[in-house]
Structure 1
Amino acid sequence: MTTTAAVPATSQSRSPQQIWRRARGLLFAVLILVVAGVTLAAVRSGGQHGRLDPRSADPYGSRAVAELLKDRGVSVDTATTLDEAIGATGPDTTLLVAGPNMLTAHQQHRLHTATAGSAGRTVLIAPAGPSVTRLAPGVRQEAHGPLTTRPPRCELPAARAAGATDMGGVHYATDAPGATACYPDNGLAPLLVLPGQETGDTVLLGSPDILYNDRLDQQGNASLGLQLLGSRPHLVWYLPSLDDPSAAGGSSGGNDNTDGGSGGESGFIGLIPSGWLWGTLQLALAAVLAAIWRGRRFGPLVTERLPVAIRASETTEGRARLYRRADARDRAAASLRSATRSRISPLLGVSPRDTDSPAVLLPAVAARLSNPSHAPGALLFGPAPADDAALVLLTDQLDALEREVRTS
């Protein structure tokens, strides 16, 4: 028995022109993404660095306030490691910590120890969670409010001179003596000044917005920012970084586990810049849209003609070799028995759906054969052969049974 199929007159392989027409849209999209990425990288490399960076001229940078401080005679230095920040502290220095929540517990304890005895000013930008208790003992984070224009309503000279400013973000409360709470909302303050040793103090600013380039010229933001950061002749702008070697220095420190012992409390996702998160989301959306775009081209399944004629005996021999190589006598025997049952069922008047039912097929076989040479139950539904010789014997016996059914 052979299966016949007409040989197609044309090749099934796609020509280069067909491949180009199918791929040019995707290649064009990839080219646009590459050009856009290179252009964006080139634009951002021109002096723009990041959020709250004194070197950044983008809307969320802080270059404007840094330049104004320099015009007032205040030196502005940028630190990216904890050792640089601690080494620059002193009575004539203001230390601004741009991202205190990025610091590990060990780094926060080191920073607090160094600044507590420096007699300088420490400005903490939006500390939250355990960072508050580590960097400003006695202060509690109570709420988080929207950014609005508020009057100072406090006795702090810098706040009274600045007047109404844009305040919000983290709100604090404290029972520490001598603390000054400004711009309060329901008794909670987004600006808190804690007195320290001698003339030093610590400033907690619940939101960095007054230091951004795009908000510096609004309300009294510039005045308040310049007074908070320009009270000393030197300003150290500390930008914590994830590759700071000091982050791994206190994994076994004795005092680093007082608040749970794990480093940054904002978690891994909180340490990832928001631009990376948005970029990942956009790439995922692009992948879904590309899948939909390609998927809608898939139509229903189409039966294709075989390119060559294949002999049925070759298919049988090939499957037999596979069974033999896998030592799958059970599957071979099951296939032989199933084929025999399918061929004799029409001869016995058995419905195709009852072909695999011993209760229906075996009585029909017994009624057809007055003196069967072999037990039909063992042949058609018996166990798998133990070896190859038993498999060959089963084949011969099934052929003999089928012949008896056909001739009886």
Structure 2
Amino acid sequence: MTAGPVTPTAARQWRTWRWAGLALVVIALIALASAWLTAPRPGGRMDPESTSSDGARALIALLRDQGVEVVVADTASEARQAVRDGSLLLVAQTGYTAAPELLRPLADAPGDLLLIEPAARTREALAPELRRAPAIGLSGAPDCDLPEADRAGTVSLGTPDAYAATDDTTHITSCYGGALVRYHAGGRQITVVGSADFLTNSTLLQEGNAALAMNLAGAQPRLIWYAPQHPDGETSPGASISDLVPEQVSWIVWQAWLAVGLIALWKVRRMGPLVTEDLPVVVRASETVEGRGRLYRSRRARDRAAEALRTATLQRLSPRLGLGANAQPPAIIATIMARSGGQLTDPQALQHSLFGPTPSTDDDLVQLAHALDDIERQVAHS
């Protein structure tokens, strides 16, 4: 059976649905691409790919739009290999900046150097001609003749560090109260800024921050950006948390632990002498026996019940018979027969009652209780 011919109306509907489906697919792809491109990218301080407040993605995008070739170096060795004449090496201090012995090769690298908020060890390795200076007279105005700072004007640097020359032989240009300094050494231009706030995404648009960032970082057509976000594979192991804690703090912590231990020993609950206390209610012995009997019966514990009856009988008979606690069954039976005055003359019956097997039924258990009671009564009345 062959299918009928396709009508023009069905063909038009198929083409319409086909183009509608294709349009939906294209819209979905565009939406996914837009979401991926505009999605926030978290990262650390001065991360060139991070869109967070401390990241530097906005500045990197502006530099590339201005034609600056930005090369991101993750390690000190990559930065050393990427730098060359006519380039600018930017070293931003992060928690993963390499150790001084790995940074020292960068001090001899060609091209200019821009240090952002360097720590003491980084500054000693890359800019030993500078020292920390008292933060006196810091302001947002450049107050210097440095072209990059003069064109930027007033900027917001937060709370930057200030620098000064270590001796009179080094001539430095100081701006913003010493927060930005520049000098020449070894045929290269070295610029040091005591704050990274003006470079980050959150403050780039404040006052003249963007202008100063572009003037400093875009001074050369090629920029090597070294702001490591991961531990450098060649770095030596960092200090542990205990190494970073001052010695005085460690002593305070140990003393606090000692004080807590002594207080715990002082307040701890101690075992004292036994204290007799009156029972909250008086329970008659008959109720206790009846309750225990019900427990034995509910569990069908005829063996334990028989043992309890026999043990109690022997404990009451032993003082009357003058026997010790370790007396053997033959001696006990013979003594009972002698003390009963001829009332108990069957040793096998006594053996069965006092030391026999476990009763097989509840009736047998009741008969055993009666037999034991009779033996005890005969001995007591003899």
Question: TM (normalized to structure 1)?
Answer: 0.46
Q: Which has the higher contact order (CA 8 A, sep 6+)?
A: 1
Structure with max Cα Rg: 2
Q: Please give the TM-score of this superposition, normalised by the length of structure 2.
A: 0.49
